[in-house]
Amino acid sequence: MASILMLSGDDHSVVLPSIGLLPHRVKTIPAEPASLVRAPSAEVVIVDARTDLAQAKALCRILQTTGMSSALMVVVTEGGMAALNSEWGFDDVILSHAGPAEVDARIRLALTREAAKPGSEMIQSSGVVIDEVSYQAKVNGRALDLTFKEFELLRFLVAHPSRVFTREQLLSEVWGYDYFGGTRTVDVHVRRLRAKLGDMESLIGTVRNVGYRFAVIDEHAAESSAPATTAKLAAEN
């Protein structure tokens, strides 16, 4: 599930109807430069280019000059496709009548490409996005207020999804060989991380008598599968 900022034109119609059938978190604001001043952060920005192509192109170029790290997409009608070119600077284009499966696939691919861009230091899995440059972490688009070690622990686990690590391994990888504290430190930080993950605390699972692992879930079905995932991981504790 991704956090999406939709920049909508002034015709008051729904920009991309099928996105309402998907679990993504969508915030819609007017497609105007002034609206960007206090726009919330998002993993994907979608610009409405169905009617005013010139304004949409200008908005895309403004977004690019700000150096934003979000994936940039535009929504057009079939008639508007002819006006698109590399000068727009978008990552992908979606036809306004595209179905939910296509829209979801394009969003996921755009996020993957954004993370793979040169200079991009992003790690993401199961709705958690780690920005190694800015030392920020988000879960389903919500920013997490983490201490340095909490961030480092979460970053390490997310970078190795599904792999089980003992407390000793985590202590060595995150705190370093010269750390003299005991493995109880790992337990304390895991407990704090789970509390800050909130409804997604089950992403950090306990493997009895071994250690911890970061769970991999189907992001498309994250909301519907969360209770089952929680129950499964709780059984391991």
Lowest mean pLDDT among 13-27, 194-208, 212-226: 212-226
The answer to whether the CB of 91 falls within 8 A of the CB of 79 is no
**Residue 143, phi then psi, degrees to nearest 5:** -70, 140
Q: Class for domain 122-214, per CATH?
A: mainly alpha
Nearest alpha-carbon partner for 4 in 58, 19, 13, 95:
19
The listed range with the strongest mean pLDDT (62-66, 170-174, 202-206) is 202-206
Question: Percent of the chain beyond pLDDT 70?
Answer: 85
Report the C-alpha gap between 185 and 202 in whole angstroms: 19
Statement: residue 6 has pLDDT above 90 = yes
Sorting pLDDT into bands at 50, 70 and 90, what band is 111? confident
pTM to 2 decimals? 0.54
Which SS3 state, helix, strand or coil, does residue 95 take? strand
Statement: residue 232 has pLDDT above 70 = no
Assigned token pair, 2: 């991704």
Q: Does domain 3-116 sit in CATH 3.40.50.1220?
A: no
- Is pLDDT larger for residue 190 or for residue 31? 190
The residue extents of the domains of the chain are: 3-116, 122-214
The answer to whether the CB of 56 falls within 8 A of the CB of 87 is no
